[in-house]
Amino acid sequence: MIEILLIPVITAAVCYMLKNYRLISYVSLTGAVTLTGFSMPVIFSSMSSPHEIMGGMLYTDALSGYIMALVIFLGLVSAIYSIGYLEHELKVGLTDIAGMRRYYALLHLFIFTMLLVTVANNLALMWIAVEATTIVSAVLIGFGFRKRALAIEAAWKYIILCTVGITFALLGTFITYYASTAVMGTEGALNWTELKEIAAKLNPSTMKLAFIFVLVGYGTKAGLAPVHNWLPDAHSQAPSPISALLSGILLNTAFYGIMRFVSIVEPSTGEFFTGNLLIIFGLISIGISSVFILVQDNYKRLLAYSSIEHMGIISLGVGIGGPVGIYGALLHILNHALSKPLMFFASGKIQAHYGSTRIENVNGVLSSMPLLGTLTFIGALSLAGTPPFNIFLSEFTILKAGVDKGLWLVVGLFLLFVIIVFYGILSGFGKMLFGTATGLKSESAEEQSVKGAETFKLPNVLTNTTMIVMALSIIALGFKVPDFIDSTIKTCINVLGIR
Amino acid sequence: MKNWIQVFSIIDFISVGILLTAIAMNALRRLESCVRAYMFNSWLLSFLIAIVAFMIGEAHLYMASIVTFLSKGIVIPLFLRKIVKQMKVTHDVEPYISNALSLTISGILVAVVYVSLREGIFVTGFSRNVLQISTAVILIGLFIMISRRKAITQVIGLLFMENGLFLAGFSLTFGMPIIIELGVLFDMLMGVIILGIFAIQIKRAFTSSDLDKLTILKG
């Protein structure tokens, strides 16, 4: 298990030392592929039975394996996408070799910190890892590959808000430790595995206090409204592959922390306390983001608000609870982690092509770039929750869980907001996709032939293949959840102790 | 010696000192004094940990005390002072509200904390006052963050919050395992360094160290 933590660190160090830009990108890719290879056995063995190493500090079970698989998958696709993306930025003079070294080193460190979150058994170690993700990703946003005023503004807001927020999560962790000392006598417990066993004996009012602090803290990081203000700025100013990682998985690693806490807090306080809080935060997030999606004129910010909406839906699923609700939430994590990065990748390409992130400046993507347009179209339909795409399936599962429990008000509000989001996303991207392409630079025949030759270069082929694979899995997951994913999620539900 | 500490309630004195250095932030006009206030606050925090370590005879608390002193009491203040010099800012804090109002609000915060935490969770606490004081320090830190204009004052407010948090954690549980304390301190140190670098970049990019200028991204 320790090797999958070491590989990203080594890759980061090597990337930082190299001086040739092509070499750096392929070393980074090799690192990501090696990581994927080495993580396979760890993930598969964690599915069947939990493992502990380093005296119980690190631990994997099905849930951490599930999130870990997503981190590694998205790390791989971002490493692939970064090659073409950075080569383009280098060519148009937006970055230099120093920027690229910094970018790739930080990218792999970022993957390392997220992996550390998933394997941490000790709740305080998990806090340290979550805070480390904030620091590394803030540097990535601010200095990614070049220094821009707006990116620094976004990074400043991000690091200040998330650090303040997450300070409260540390207080919550302290209070949990305190509650455990009361049960265990002299030495308290912070390991999730130990806390899980004594969870029913913990003092309910102390745990309620702890959970509120943890929810506010990790909720800030997970982008739950009303503490989401950093998210649209950070996501829209980050380089596209980093936006994909932030949105696709970073939010989920923070939410993973909340899920771990829910399963410790619930046995003593009863499920109504945690459930109601999560439902309220979830509905506020969906509601606020739906309004902002409707009036948004910048497509990267639109995608960022859509992330808030989807985190709200996941929170709602966990809040409604029961096997069906949790199943829907975990499936939604996977679906969102496929659709949103695809959209950020596509928007990076659109931005490179049109030189603007405003919706009104982009027209006729489908006619000028048929492949990219189609992929964007699939992603947009999926994000809006159109049947028969994957996100519809998980939203429907959560809806069903709500109906089963008879939470009619929650279901009604959820449906209303989702309809607003549906209209907002499809009208926004509809304006970009259809119509005739205007505002493009007219290209001479020579430039066009250069462009034609580039289409078949390796980075471009790799990027396009990845995006096509992601789009195909979005469609496939919309029809049926494959058996291995189904059984994995069911094991996760068992791990969380939901009956 | 142990009797002395109890008879003269040394622990209460130190924690009140921690509260006073936090409240003093409201009245200070110069950025250098703010950094100094933070430095005293951290010294008092590490001294408090050392006293408690002596009272209950825990070796790992001595370690925690020394590490706190070195990182928060020496490295971070020196780094902040360097940043203040490098930014060549006007040295004035320029709060949004007057000092008198700011002090009043801090006083109200302390009163609210004392009233609302009168009954709650106290079992392992070695002094009844420490938890209230630490919560008050967290809130004052937060208040300083939102009521000051300079980037550096936001960082200092955050640091006060974290000192308050350490004190709270300490009063609840007699400190975490040492490896965890080190990890948290390492994260904090990294965070402060990054924030310092960002503050300099903000100064360069916006030709001002006021955060009022950071309003381009919204909606």
Host H or E run for residue A393: helix A390-405
* Candidates B156, B198, B211, B213, partner chain A, best to mutate (most A CBs within 10 A): B198
Host H or E run for residue A412: helix A408-433
Structure tokens at A52: 């502990």
Q: What is the CA radius of gyration of chain B?
A: 18
* Interval A93-126: pLDDT, tens: 778 888 888 899 999 999 999 999 999 988 989 9
Picking from B160, B12, B154, B51, the residue whose alpha carbon sits closest to that of residue B96 is B154
Q: Is residue A69 part of a domain?
A: no
Inform me whether the pLDDT recorded for A186 exceeds 70. Answer: no
Structure tokens at A20: 């040739």
Cβ pair A167:B165 closer than 8 A: yes
CA distances (Å), A427 to each of A423, B149, B163, in order? 6, 40, 49
Cβ pair B194:A135 closer than 8 A: yes
- If one compares B149 and A407, the residue with the highest pLDDT of the two is A407
Residues in chain B whose Cβ is within 8 Å of chain A: 121, 123-124, 138, 142, 145, 151, 154, 158, 161-162, 165, 168-169, 172-173, 176-177, 180, 183-184, 186-187, 190-191, 194-195, 198, 201-202, 205-206, 211, 214, 216-217, 219
Which ranges of A92-148 would DSSP assign to H, the alpha helix?
A: 97-119, 123-143
Ramachandran quadrant class, A189 (left: phi over 0; alpha: psi -120 to 50; beta: rest): beta
Picking from B105, B217, B103, the residue whose alpha carbon sits closest to that of residue A152 is B217
Q: Is residue A241 part of a domain?
A: no
> What's the number of domains chain A is made of?
1
Q: Is residue A368 part of a domain?
A: yes
Q: Is residue A401 part of a domain?
A: yes
The confidence band for B90, taking pLDDT boundaries of 50, 70 and 90, is low
Task: Using the structure block, give the residue that is written with the tokens 């990748």.
Answer: A345
Residue-level pLDDT at A146: 66
**Closest Cα in chain A, distance from residue B214 (Å):** 6
The number of helices, as runs of H, and strands, as runs of E, in chain A is 21, 2
Tell me whether the omega of the peptide bond preceding residue A388 falls within 30 degrees of 0, making it cis: yes
Q: Which residues, in sequence order, are bridge partners of residue A191?
A: A122
Closest Cβ–Cβ partner in A128, A181, A205 for B173: A181
Give contacts of B161 with chain A, Cβ < 8 Å. Answer: 164, 167
Q: Is residue A68 part of a domain?
A: no
Q: Is residue A339 part of a domain?
A: yes
Give contacts of A301 with chain B, Cβ < 8 Å. Answer: 219
Give contacts of A206 with chain B, Cβ < 8 Å. Answer: 121
Question: Mean pLDDT in chain B?
Answer: 83
- Amino acid identity for residue B56 in this structure: I
Closest Cβ–Cβ partner in B145, B169, B198 for A155: B198
Q: What is the mean pLDDT of residues B60-79?
A: 90
Picking from A338, A375, A314, A306, the residue whose alpha carbon sits closest to that of residue A477 is A338
Distance CA B19, CA B134 (A): 8
Tell me whether the omega of the peptide bond preceding residue A387 falls within 30 degrees of 0, making it cis: no
Q: Is residue A323 part of a domain?
A: yes
Q: Is residue A365 part of a domain?
A: yes
Give contacts of B191 with chain A, Cβ < 8 Å. Answer: 131, 134-135, 159, 163
**Closest Cα in chain B, distance from residue A162 (Å):** 11
Distance CA A332, CA A74 (A): 16
Closest Cβ–Cβ partner in B180, B205, B217 for A125: B180
* Interval A32-53: pLDDT, tens: 999 999 999 988 888 888 888 8
- If one compares B214 and A135, the residue with the highest pLDDT of the two is A135
- Amino acid identity for residue B58 in this structure: E
Inform me whether the pLDDT recorded for B4 exceeds 80. Answer: no
Distance CA A70, CA A75 (A): 8
- If one compares A306 and A56, the residue with the highest pLDDT of the two is A306
Non-local (6+) Cβ contacts of A411 within 8 A are A399, A402, A403
Closest Cβ–Cβ partner in B138, B151, B194 for A138: B194
* φ, ψ dihedrals at A122, nearest 5°: -75, 125
Residue-level pLDDT at A338: 93
Residue-level pLDDT at A145: 60
ipTM above 0.95, yes or no: no
Inform me whether the pLDDT recorded for A388 exceeds 90. Answer: no
Question: How many Cα atoms occupy the beta-carbon half-sphere of A420 within 13 Å?
Answer: 19
**Closest Cα in chain B, distance from residue A57 (Å):** 11
Give the rounded percent of residues in chain A with a pLDDT score beyond 70.
94
Closest Cβ–Cβ partner in B151, B162, B214 for A167: B162
Residue-level pLDDT at A96: 83
* Candidates A126, A166, A173, A174, partner chain B, best to mutate (most B CBs within 10 A): A174
Distance CA A117, CA B183 (A): 13
Inform me whether the pLDDT recorded for A66 exceeds 70. Answer: yes
Q: Which residue segment(s) compose the domain that A431 sits in? A: 283-499
**Closest Cα in chain B, distance from residue A165 (Å):** 11
Q: Are A238 and A146 in contact (CB under 8 A)?
A: no
Closest Cβ–Cβ partner in A132, A232, A296 for B187: A132
Distance CA A213, CA B23 (A): 24
